[in-house]
């Protein structure tokens, strides 16, 4: 009980910085309040409409006209317009165009007036989208995040190829993270082995080289690569001057740059995870295998490597999961085709102000990460997740 009390500040901190924001993001991914808030009367009436989309009654046109005016006065119109625009580019201009002509001339029926202002008001699709957006709870963000939408027929269908960008981004994120994890394993495993088998003095010295990058800001390190990898940077100077290549090689603003940068940043995790496991392996196992007649290489493969599987698992898991959320490095070193999901999330939040879609993308990322975690836990065991 007292131990629990000691942990309370941490629990509060975690709740405030972790559980609450993530929970909020999750809710945001299924909640959309802009339209319902801006057009309360229209929303209420549209919600009561049954059946397939059709032109609504005149009463609803009147309600919308009234709602548009209040929304403009109260300043909620812009958010609603932005939200509607995510369904159909052009919705915003439609609303703004309409609102400029309000109030309607006396005597003219609202439905006729609207259709005079813009013929789109005469299309059932416009009203269907307005109705969807007016719902407080929606699956639209979650569908958009996997390049799907609810079509006119009310069924789930893929979006047009030109707008299908998120599944590709997810796959790319997965591919980049997996590549980085693999490269880190190939590079880090031997280093960890050397660190674990070298006498303590040399090992400690080497360890400093592994840890120092940890003390340096991520941004600084990425910027350093930025300098190194430029077409007229250090690497290309070496390559061309040594005659290995005739012209500078594109090492950044492409996948190569992303992989180099992320591998460098994440390599210490792989090394430390493997080192922690390897340090605990008695050299007697290898010796025993060799004394029993196994060639050292065979003993290494059949005895040593299996014993290090927890380290391999932990390191790969850590690097993979950390890579999934990477943002700065791919943004600085990557090209147009290397956007990772986090960049798209940031884009939705910073530029498009589309928190719902950002939330939905995050939901998939979180769910995927949790899946990886569960699989990892099954295979390796989370209690193995230790560093140093």
Partner 1 sequence: MVTGRASAVQRRPASKPLVTFSNIDKTYDGEAFVTRNLNFMIEEGEFLSLLGPSGSGKTTTLMMLAGFEAPSSGAIYLGEKRLNETPPHRRNIGMVFQNYALFPNMTVAENIAFPLSVRRVPKFERQNRVERALEMIELAHVAERRPSQLSGGQQQRVALARALVFEPRLVLMDEPLGALDKNLRETMQYEIMRLHERLGLTVVYVTHDQSEALTMSDRVAVFHHGRIQQIASPKVLYEDPANAFVANFIGENNGLSGKVTARDARFATLELTPELSIRGRVGEGISIGTAATLALRPENVSLDDETMPGDIRLRGTIDEVIYCGDHWRLHLTAADRAGFVIKVPNKTATAPPQPGRIATMSWSPADCKIVEADAAR
CA distance 342 to 339: 8
The residue range among 133-141, 170-178, 303-311, 340-348 that interacts with partner 1, by the rule CB under 8 A, is: 303-311
Q: Which two tokens stand for residue 231?
A: 């077409």
Site string for partner 1, 262-301 (x = CB under 8 A): --------------------x-xx-xxxxxxxxxx-xx--
Judged by beta carbon, residue 168 or residue 381, the one nearer partner 1 is: 381
Residue 347 near residue 209, CB atoms below 8 Å = no
Judged by beta carbon, residue 165 or residue 281, the one nearer partner 1 is: 281
Residue 193 near residue 311, CB atoms below 8 Å = no
Judged by beta carbon, residue 73 or residue 284, the one nearer partner 1 is: 284
Show contacts with partner 1 in window 122-151 (CB under 8 A): none
Judged by beta carbon, residue 150 or residue 307, the one nearer partner 1 is: 307
- In this structure, the chain runs to a length of 388
Q: Closest approach of Cβ 308 to partner 1, in Å? A: 10
Neighbours of 120 (CB within 10 A): 17
Query: Angle between the 255-279 and 200-211 helix axes, to the nearest 10 degrees?
Result: 150
Which of 303, 321, 345, 357 contacts partner 1 by CB under 8 A?
Answer: 303
Judged by beta carbon, residue 11 or residue 288, the one nearer partner 1 is: 288
CA distance 304 to 286: 7
CA distance 69 to 63: 10
Judged by beta carbon, residue 97 or residue 295, the one nearer partner 1 is: 295
Show contacts with partner 1 in window 305-334 (CB under 8 A): 306-307
CA distance 271 to 189: 6
Beta strands in the chain (DSSP E): 148-150, 156-158
CA distance 171 to 283: 41
Q: Closest approach of Cβ 355 to partner 1, in Å? A: 49
Q: How far apart are the first and last CA of the chain?
A: 30
CA 19 to chain CA centroid, Å, is 17
CA distance 161 to 147: 9
CA distance 77 to 61: 17
β-pair partners for 149: 157
Q: Closest approach of Cβ 277 to partner 1, in Å? A: 13
Q: Closest approach of Cβ 33 to partner 1, in Å? A: 56
Residue 154 near residue 52, CB atoms below 8 Å = yes
Q: Closest approach of Cβ 295 to partner 1, in Å? A: 6
Phi, psi of 137 (to 5 degrees): -110, 140
Peptide bond into 103 cis (omega under 30): yes
Compute how many residues bind partner 1; rule: CB under 8 A: 18
Q: Closest approach of Cβ 184 to partner 1, in Å? A: 24
Judged by beta carbon, residue 277 or residue 345, the one nearer partner 1 is: 277
Residue 77 near residue 38, CB atoms below 8 Å = yes
Judged by beta carbon, residue 21 or residue 306, the one nearer partner 1 is: 306
Site string for partner 1, 49-68 (x = CB under 8 A): --------------------
Q: Closest approach of Cβ 291 to partner 1, in Å? A: 4
Q: Closest approach of Cβ 310 to partner 1, in Å? A: 11
Tell me the three state secondary structure of residue 231. Answer: coil
Q: Closest approach of Cβ 302 to partner 1, in Å? A: 8
Judged by beta carbon, residue 64 or residue 299, the one nearer partner 1 is: 299
Judged by beta carbon, residue 183 or residue 303, the one nearer partner 1 is: 303
Q: Closest approach of Cβ 372 to partner 1, in Å? A: 24
Beta strands in 102-209 (DSSP E): 148-150, 156-158
The residues that touch partner 1, with contacts defined as CB under 8 A, are: 282, 284-285, 287-296, 298-299, 303, 306-307
């Amino acid at each position: 009980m007292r131990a629990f009390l000691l942990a309370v500040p941490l629990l509060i901190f975690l709740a405030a910085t972790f559980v609450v924001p993530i929970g909020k993001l999750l809710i945001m991914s299924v909640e959309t309040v802009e339209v319902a808030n801006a057009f309360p009367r229209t929303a209420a009436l549209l919600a009561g409409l049954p059946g397939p989309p059709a032109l609504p009654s005149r009463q609803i046109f009147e309600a919308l006209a009234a709602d548009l005016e209040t929304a403009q006065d109260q300043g909620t119109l812009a958010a609603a317009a932005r939200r509607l625009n995510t369904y159909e580019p052009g919705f915003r201009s439609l609303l703004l165009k309409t609102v400029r002509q309000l109030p309607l001339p006396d005597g003219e029926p609202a439905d006729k007036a609207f259709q005079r202002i813009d013929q789109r008001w005469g299309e059932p699709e416009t009203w269907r989208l307005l109705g969807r957006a007016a719902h407080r709870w929606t699956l639209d963000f979650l569908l958009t995040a996997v390049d799907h939408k609810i079509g006119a027929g009310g069924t789930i269908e893929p979006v047009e190829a030109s707008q299908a960008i998120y599944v590709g981004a997810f796959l790319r994120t997965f591919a980049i993270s997996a590549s980085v994890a693999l490269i880190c394993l190939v590079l880090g495993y031997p280093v960890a082995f050397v660190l674990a088998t070298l006498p303590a003095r040399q090992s400690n010295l080497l360890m400093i080289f592994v840890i120092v990058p940890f003390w340096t800001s991520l941004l600084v390190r990425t910027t350093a690569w930025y300098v190194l990898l430029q077409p007229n940077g250090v690497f290309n100077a070496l390559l061309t001057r040594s005659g290995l290549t005739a012209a500078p090689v594109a090492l950044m603003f492409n996948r190569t740059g992303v992989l180099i940068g992320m591998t460098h940043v994440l390599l210490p995790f792989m090394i430390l995870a493997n080192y922690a496991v390897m340090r605990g392996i008695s050299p007697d196992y290898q010796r025993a295998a060799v004394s029993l007649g196994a060639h050292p290489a065979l003993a290494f493969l059949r005895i040593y490597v299996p014993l290090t599987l927890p380290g391999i698992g932990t390191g790969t898991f850590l690097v993979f999961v950390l890579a999934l959320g990477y943002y700065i490095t791919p943004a600085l070193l990557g090209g147009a085709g290397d956007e990772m999901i986090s960049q798209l999330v940031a884009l939705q939040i910073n530029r498009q102000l589309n928190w719902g879609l950002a939330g939905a993308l995050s939901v998939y990322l979180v769910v995927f990460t949790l899946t990886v975690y569960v699989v990892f836990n099954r295979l390796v065991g989370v209690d193995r997740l230790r560093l140093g």
